[in-house]
């Protein structure tokens, strides 16, 4: 018995050493006496009252509960029922003292740590957009919750309350899990697992320019836009990569474009992915067009906006490309449609998948497959060719 008492005091000493002054007062108070609460009668009812310290909030509650009628139970029965309630909540257990001494980690705590430690290491575009998205759609729901209380049901309640497009919901879910998994890594903990009911993302084919549409667009475009649309179509570069090209990145002797940077919101940044940092081969026709366009220039940006600033995707798409599409009477598309068109053309010409992936800077063939489209003419020609091949009668050879 003496040994048990010494063990208990030792544990309390450890807890008190890491607690705040107010927590020490509460822990000391709780350790001095066993809580039994008290029972009192009001009219025909027995009531019980007890104390409950709120972990991580430094405040105490004194809840009152109805225990039963004076007709159906004695005061002793009422005391026993109150004791059972206190026991069920674990308020007299030593482990409850730990909850008071060790602050509860909430999602807000994790987000603040993530923003100060992890966010500065991410891409500048993420640094600019993530905090606002988190503040608007994630922390209002999860912020005050203790991490241990965030279960799959909690996540599904959050998802059900998001009035957003399915793709946006998926992106927010990725952001939430990225923050939580980062926290787990910092504490050498396994990843937390949830099983959310995410909405299905509708399958909508991305706009892509066919070879015929590309020829029409380039023929109508003027000035540097004729060149940039041609290079986009025959290299598969992303618009940010095109806007970030310097003359020094072009090796027009060997027909190679070195992608070394991208442009985001007028700022030169690293390529979208590690695979984006690459060398892209271009044909002799594209080389001739670039030589004619550059003339004697040996430095500076290949393409530029007003006063030498980098081109902006939304301006080129909205003010130039979509206007050309309207003039030609074809469905509008953005600059990314050239990239999809390039991948599709290479696929239809049986270029090996690994070479396509390398040239366009994809991380996996699965991503490349999402950029592959087939024209109706190509599908029809393929079906007819295979049909003829299968119906040909093999010749019979006789001795």
Q: What is the mean pLDDT of the chain?
A: 87
pLDDT given for residue 56 in this prediction: 53
Q: Residue 31 pLDDT more than 60?
A: no
CB half-sphere exposure, 362, CA atoms < 13 A = 19
Mean per-residue pLDDT for 148-154?
A: 90
Is the entire prediction scored with pTM above 0.75? no
CA terminus-to-terminus distance, the chain: 107
| Phi and psi at residue 69, to the nearest 5° | -85, 155
pLDDT tens column, 248-259 = 999 999 999 999
Q: Residue 374 pLDDT more than 60?
A: yes
For the chain, the domains span 2-101, 107-186, 211-379
Cβ atoms 234, 286 nearer than 8 A:
yes
CA-wise closest residue to 221 among 322, 357, 135, 78? 322
pLDDT grade for 394, boundaries at 50, 70 and 90: low
Q: Residue 8 pLDDT more than 70?
A: no
pLDDT tens column, 284-303 = 999 999 999 999 999 999 99
Do strands 262-264 and 267-269 pair parallel, antiparallel, or not at all (unpaired)?
antiparallel
| Phi and psi at residue 5, to the nearest 5° | -65, -40
Percent of the chain with pLDDT over 90: 69
Mean per-residue pLDDT for 347-360?
A: 94
DSSP state of 361: T
Cα Rg of the chain (Å, integer):
34
| CATH placement of domain 211-379 | 1.10.443.10
pLDDT grade for 139, boundaries at 50, 70 and 90: very high
Task: Report how far apart, in Å, the C-alpha atoms of 202 and of each of 61, 199, 247 are.
Answer: 50, 9, 41
CB half-sphere exposure, 147, CA atoms < 13 A = 20
pLDDT tens column, 194-223 = 999 999 999 888 999 999 999 999 999 999
One DSSP character per residue, 147-197 reads: GGG--HHHHHHHHHT--S-HHHHHHHHHHHHHHHHHHHHHTT-PPP-----
User: Per DSSP, what are the bridge partners of residue 68?
Assistant: 46
- Residues 26, 9: Cα–Cα separation, whole Å: 15
Mean per-residue pLDDT for 331-337?
A: 96
SS3 letters across 209-234: CCHHHHHHHHHHCCHHHHHHHHHHHH
């Amino acid at each position: 018995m003496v040994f048990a008492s010494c063990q208990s005091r030792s544990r309390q000493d450890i807890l008190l050493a890491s607690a705040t002054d107010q927590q020490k007062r509460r822990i000391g108070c709780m350790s001095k006496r066993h809580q039994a609460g008290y029972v009192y009668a009001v009219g025909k009812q027995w009531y019980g009252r007890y104390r409950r310290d709120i972990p991580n909030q430094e405040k105490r509650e004194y809840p009152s509960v109805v225990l039963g009628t004076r007709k159906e139970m004695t005061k002793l029965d009422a005391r026993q029922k109150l004791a059972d309630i206190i026991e069920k909540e674990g308020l007299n257990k030593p482990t409850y003292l730990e909850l008071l001494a060790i602050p509860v980690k909430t999602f807000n705590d994790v987000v603040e740590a993530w923003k100060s430690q992890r966010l500065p290491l991410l891409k500048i575009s993420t640094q600019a957009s993530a905090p606002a998205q988190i503040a608007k759609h994630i922390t209002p729901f999860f912020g005050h919750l203790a991490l241990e209380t965030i279960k799959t049901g909690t996540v599904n309640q959050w998802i059900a309350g998001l009035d957003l497009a399915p793709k946006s919901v998926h992106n927010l879910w990725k952001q939430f899990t990225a923050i939580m998994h980062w926290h787990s890594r910092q504490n050498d903990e396994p990843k937390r697992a949830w099983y959310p009911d995410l909405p299905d993302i509708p399958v909508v084919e991305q706009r892509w320019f066919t070879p015929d549409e590309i020829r029409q667009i380039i023929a109508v475009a003027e000035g540097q836009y004729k060149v940039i649309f041609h290079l986009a179509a025959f290299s598969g570069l992303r618009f940010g990569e095109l806007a970030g090209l310097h003359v020094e990145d072009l090796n027009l002797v060997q027909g190679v474009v070195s992608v070394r940077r991208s442009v985001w919101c007028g700022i030169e940044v690293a390529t979208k992915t590690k695979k984006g940092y690459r060398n892209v081969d271009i044909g002799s026709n594209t080389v001739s067009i670039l030589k004619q366009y550059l003339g004697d220039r040996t430095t500076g940006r290949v393409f530029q906006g007003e006063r030498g600033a980098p081109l902006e995707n939304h301006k080129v798409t909205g003010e130039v490309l979509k206007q050309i599409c309207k003039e030609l009477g074809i469905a509008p598309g953005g600059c990314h449609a050239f990239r999809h068109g390039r991948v599709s053309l290479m696929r239809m010409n049986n270029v090996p998948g690994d070479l396509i992936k390398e040239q366009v800077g994809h991380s996996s063939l699965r991503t490349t497959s999402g950029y592959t489209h087939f024209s109706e003419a190509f599908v029809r020609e393929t079906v007819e060719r295979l049909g003829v091949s299968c119906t040909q009668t093999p010749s019979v050879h006789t001795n």
